Structure 1
C-alpha cells in the first residue's frame, strides 16, 4: 500500500527537479494534496499514513504537473490568504503578497478612529484584497476601488460580494484616480513598480503568469508612483493621507517624487525583511 505521505514525497521530488527550492517544494506538494482532497491541514496530517482515496491520484497529478510548469499555487487553487481573509485570485490579478499587508497596518497607524466614516480610494485594486481588509477594519468607511483592467475588476467584485461589502466598496474601471474627485481621507495603492530592466529577471511564476500591467512601472519602475502622487494632491482631504507600496531600492527616489508632486513625505516603513516598503505622504496643508 502506498500512503498519502509517500505520494506527496514523490510530488516533492518532481517539484524540486522542476526548479523549486526544497522547502517550497515540500510546502507546495502538501498544499496541492490538501486542495485535491478538500481537507484542512489537521485532517491531512492525521490521515497521511493512510492510502489516499481512489480519485486522488489523477487529480493530484494534474495539479503537480501545473506547478512543475511554474504556475503559482494560488492560481492553481484559485485563492490566497491576505490579512486573514481568503481572497479569490486568477491570472487577471496580482497575487496578494505578505508585504502588501503593510499598507493595511500602516493605515491603522494614521486613521486611528476605527469607527470614522472615512472616504478611501484603493488605486489599482486588483483582487480588492486591500479594499476588503480596510472595509472590515473600518466598518463605516466608503471605499472606491479602481483598476484599469475589466477582468481584474470582475475578480474584485466577486471578492467584495463574498464578504458582503457591495454597499461600501464600489469598483470603478479607470486609470489610477482619473475621473475621481474626492476628497478622500485616505488614498492607498500598490501600484506597478517593477522597472523595465527587472521584468526579465522575475521568477517564472511572476513573469509568465501574473498580469504585466500590474507589474511594469516603466524605465525606473516609478512612473505610476509619480502619477498617483501628483493626482492625489487635489483629491485628498486637507487632513488626508496617501499610503503607497514601493519596491526595493526605490525609497531614495520617493522624496523627490513627493517634492515634485507638492505633497509631504512623512515616512517610509520597512516590511518584515527590513526593505523600505510603505511610503506615507500627507496633504500639503496638513500640519
Structure 2
C-alpha cells in the first residue's frame, strides 16, 4: 500500500465514525507513525509502505475510532502557540483556556512590576509555561495534587526552558503556595459528579480527577475563592476558567468574598461565559 492509499483509507475510517476533520486527522495519524510532516506526505504520495508501517497505522486508527483522543495518540497538543507533551495523566489543553492567558496578559500591560504568579491545578503546565514564556518578569508557582501530572509539567517546563522560573509544587489548591500572589490562574474540575458518566467518549479518556468538580461542580472553585482572599495581593488579579452554566453562582460568591473588587465574567469566542475575573 502506498501513502496515498493509506491516507484515503484512514480518512474513510474516521469519516465513517463521525470524526470531525477526517482529512486533517488522517494526515496527523499517518504523519505521526511515519514521522513525516504534512508536506512530506504530500510529496511522498507514491511511496510504498512496509508491512510494519501499515500495521502501525491500522493500530493507531483503531485507537482513534475507539475514542482515544488524537492528542493522547500523538503525545502532544498545541496551546497558545506552544507545543506541549500530554498523556492520560493530564487534561488535554483546550483553545478556550487560552482566554485565561489573554486575560492576564491584558492586565499585565498596565502593570510594570516583577510578578508572583500562581497556577492552581497546573496539569500539563500549559498555563504556567505559556505565562513564563510571555512574561519575562515573573516568578511562577505551579501546583497540582497529582505527582504524575507534575511529572508531565516538568517535561514541558524543561522543553520550553522555563524550569528556572517555574517552581512545581504538589498540593491541593493554594496549600502548596506560601506568600502573596499578584496573579492567580486556575482551570479546575467543574463537571458535576453525576454528569461524569454521561460525558462524550473521548473525554472519558482524560483523568477523572481533572474533571470531577463534586456534587454541584463548584467544590474546588468555591474553596479556591475562599483561600485566595488571604493570598491575592491588593492590586492582583484572579482568572479562573468556569463552566458557562456556573457563571452566575460563582459571580455572586466572588462578590461576597471580594466585596471591594471588580468581578466580571468574560466570554469565549463562542459567546459563552468562560472566565471569572477578579481584580
The TM-score with structure 1 as length reference comes to: 0.91
Please give the residue correspondences for 1:77-226 in structure 2 after superposition, counting only pairs within 5 Å.
77-112=74-109, 116-207=113-204, 209-226=205-222
Deviations 1:73-93 (A, max 9, x none): 111110000111110000000
| 1:240 counterpart = 2:236 | yes
- Structure 1: which 5+ runs fail to align? 283-287
Q: Secondary structure at the match of 2:238?
A: strand
Residues 124-181 of structure 1 deviation map (CA, whole Å, 9 limit, x = unaligned) = 0000001000001111210000001000000001110111111100100000101423
Aligned to 2:21: 24
Distance 1:254 1:5, change over 3 A: same
Segments of 4+ moved more than 6 angstroms:
none
TM-superposed CA distance for 1:13, in Å, is 2.3
Aligned to 1:41: 38
Q: Which residue of 2 aligns with 1:285?
A: none
Q: Which residue of 1 aligns with 2:13?
A: 14
Pair 1:178–1:57, CA change in 2 (3 A): same
What residue number does 1:256 align with?
252
In 2, Cα distance between the equivalents of 1:196 and 1:111? 36
Count of residues in correspondence between the two structures: 277
Gaps in structure 2 of 5+ consecutive residues: none
The 10-residue stretch of structure 1 (253-262 or 124-133) with the greater mean CA deviation from structure 2: 253-262
Aligned partners of 1:93 and 1:127 also within 8 Å: yes
Question: Cα deviation per residue 1:210-262 (whole Å; 9 max; x = unaligned)?
Answer: 00111111122111111111111100111111000001211111222203433
Q: CA deviation at 1:25?
A: 2.8
Q: Secondary structure at the match of 1:237?
A: strand
Output the TM-score relative to the length of structure 2: 0.94
Residues 236 and 58 of structure 1, relative CA distance in 2, 3 Å threshold: same
